[in-house]
Structures are given as C-alpha cells and as structure tokens.
Amino acid sequence: MNFINKDKFKYKLLSFNEMIINLDRLTRFKLPEESFSRVFYSILSRNLIYPKYSKSQLAKLPPKLVSDYVKMIWNASVKNIFAKSENNIAVNRAIKLLIKKQFKNLDESTKIFVNTNLILSPVVKNLNYHSSPANLRFLIKVNEFFSSDNNFTYKELIEIRKKFLLKFPIQKVLIVEGITEENLLPVFASKLGYNFDAEGVYVLGAGGKSKSPDLYVKLKDKLNLPIIILFDSDAKEICELLKQSLSKYDKTIIIEKGEFEDILSVNLLKRAINKEYENSNMLLKSDLQIYGSMCQNIEHFYKTRKLGEFKKSKLSKIVAANVKYDSDITVEIKKIINEIADF
C-alpha cells in the first residue's frame, strides 16, 4: 500500500498536550534517525485507528506512507484546535536548517520524515515560554522574529541564541562522565563569563568513563559539530585508545588528578553542605581530608552524620546553588572551561 485511501482512513485526533510532547521529542538534541522515527511511529501506533498496524508492521511501511499518515493526523489535529491560525513556515525552516547544520549522513527514511510538512507554528505560538524546555523556547523565538516570507540565515539563528541564551542552535558538544560535571560546569562557566546557553555548548552525560568512548563513536560520524570529551584522570588508557579514532575536529581533556569532585573548591563544598544541613553537625575542612577521594570523604560524612544516602546528583545541585565567588572555581576547573571556550 503506497497511497492513502481517505475514505477508509480513520484516526484519533491529537490533543494539544500530545502535540507539545511530540514536538518536544522531535526537536530535542537527538539523532534525527531516533527522534523522528520514535515520534512518527508513536503517533501512528496511538492515533491511527484504520488501517491498524502492529509495531513491526509500522517499521516495514514505506517511509513516504508513514510521513503522509502522520501529516494527515497532525495537521487535522492542529486545524481542529486552531481553526483560524495560519502556519508560519519559518518554524519548519528553522528545524530543517538546524538538522542540516548539526547532523550529517541522514538515511533516506529520516530525510523523508524531516521534510514532512507539518503545521507547527500554531502549536508553538501557544506554548508557555518560561515553562518550556530550551528547544521549544528556541522555536517560540523563531516564530516571533521571522515570518514565512523571511529567508533567514543560520547566522541569524545564532544571533537569537546569543541574545536570549537559548542553547539552540548547538555549536559544540561536551561529553562528560557523570552528573556532577553535567550540573556544575555550566554554572562555573557562567560565573567566568562564558555562558554555555549563549555559546551553544551542549553538555551530554555519558553515565561513566567506560561509556564515553562508545557515545563518542556513535556520534562522531553523525554530528556535524565539534565534540569535546572530558575524562577523569583514571581514564588515561581509555583516552589514548580513543585518540586513535578521534576526528581532527574533536578533542579530549583529562582531569589532572582524580575525578571532577576532587578538583572542586574545599571551601565551596564546606559552605554548600553546611548550608544544606545546618541542623546537623557541621562539616569541617578536616572531614574532607580523611581519604584521597573527595567522594569517599563526603560519603563518610553522610554516614557518620546519618544524612541518608550520598548521591552525586543531589550534591551537585547543592553545590551549584552556592557558587558565589571567583574563588569557588579552582584553577583546574578554570583551565577546563578555558579549553572548552577556546575550542
């Protein structure tokens, strides 16, 4: 079946909330092969009543047919809610331009999905800017600044990003091992006058040093962007192996001693933890000098003070909320941020 018989075509309309969720998933910083197929097949699985396909059958349909099905369901849903709204195709153009500039080697199915003419701007126009994620805030600003008649450039999109700290378009990708780096590096960088959102730096947590190389290998032939990989000091062998396949446009940075928590300011850690647990016994500088590992020291403090389970994610948020002074940023962290900024 390579065409749609409209007389036999039955579907359930998408709600506004469902459209927001799907638009968010479509425009996050993910490989288009993953994001578009996930969203398109999800819409057909949930909303296509007749003909009805199983998940395995959907995956075997011609991409153009999938595109046409999704287009009919999506556009009918938008028209049902926003009957008198015109579509500002500047939003569609911006999404396509981002994908073209940020990704490469798209497969043929994904190219068809990306070029599906969905009515997007009425949805974007009715989003709440302040509660929307960065990718949707970017679309909101595109819808405000440009019209269907505007032949805007990628440079103009970057100017909007810088002005409104939008993060999109992404300009460089930073792969880090864990949540501490993911949460704290943008805060430290901003304190030093280098705003990750303004500069389009996307921090991507790999979930461990052993996973960073696999993530890099997965992305390097798909991203049209420079990639920086930050490793703890105990990953030198992994880093050396990775350099054999490292693109000339990418680079690695290795923490000189220990892991990221080990290069945090002791005074910052002490101030942040004491503020968070002010009714418990105070953390002393000596408490952070028992073991060679800062995480071991903090975990020991949690156990002896009965503060519950030590989690890096929670600690990083506590520390981030207490960054106040230039002295809160150690020399090695400044060096790392300077390398990111200069790359």
The answer on 25 and 156 residing in a single domain is: yes
Give the number of other CB atoms < 10 A from CB of residue 179.
Answer: 18
- From 129, 164, 199, the end of a domain falls on 164
Residue 33 in domain? yes
How far apart, in whole angstroms, are the C-alpha atoms of residue 83 and residue 89? 17
Same-domain pairing of 199 and 302: no
- Find the Cα–Cα–Cα–Cα dihedral 300, 302, 303, 309, rounded to 10°: -120
Beta bridge partners of 230: 253
2 is a domain residue:
no
Residue in 163, 177, 129, 180 with CA at minimum distance from that of residue 20? 129
Domain-located, residue 5: no
Asked whether residue 247 falls in the same domain as residue 289, the answer is: no
Residue 87 within a domain: yes
Domain boundary residue among 135, 164, 193?
164
Last residue of a domain, one of 128, 144, 164: 164
Q: Looking at the structure, do residues 220 and 282 belong to the same domain, yes or no?
A: no
Same domain assignment for residues 303 and 201: no
Is 187 in the same domain as 50?
no
Domain, as residue range, for 224:
172-260+331-342
Which mean pLDDT values do the consecutive 10-residue runs of the chain (343 residues) have? 63 97 97 97 96 93 96 97 93 97 97 98 97 98 96 96 98 96 98 97 91 93 96 87 89 93 96 89 91 95 92 95 95 97 95
Between the alpha carbon of residue 44 and those of residues 33, 49, 122, 157, 180, the distances in Å are: 17, 8, 21, 32, 38
Residue 67 covered by a domain: yes
The pLDDT, as a whole number, for residue 4 is 55
Same structural domain, 192 and 135: no
The CATH number for 256's domain is 3.40.50
Same domain for 149 and 176, yes or no, is no
> What is the Cα–Cα distance from 209 to 260, expressed in whole angstroms?
12
Same-domain status, 128 and 201? no
pLDDT at residue number 123: 98
Tell me, yes or no, whether 203 lies in a domain.
Answer: yes
Question: Which pLDDT does position 9 carry in this prediction?
Answer: 87
Q: Are residues 338 and 194 in the same domain?
A: yes
Q: What is the pLDDT of residue 2?
A: 45
pTM of the model: 0.92
Report the pLDDT value the prediction gives residue 1, as an integer from 0 to 100: 39
- Say whether both 267 and 253 belong to one domain: no
As for how many domains the chain has, the answer is: 3
Cα separation, 145 vs 208, whole angstroms: 40
Flag whether 1 is in a domain.
no
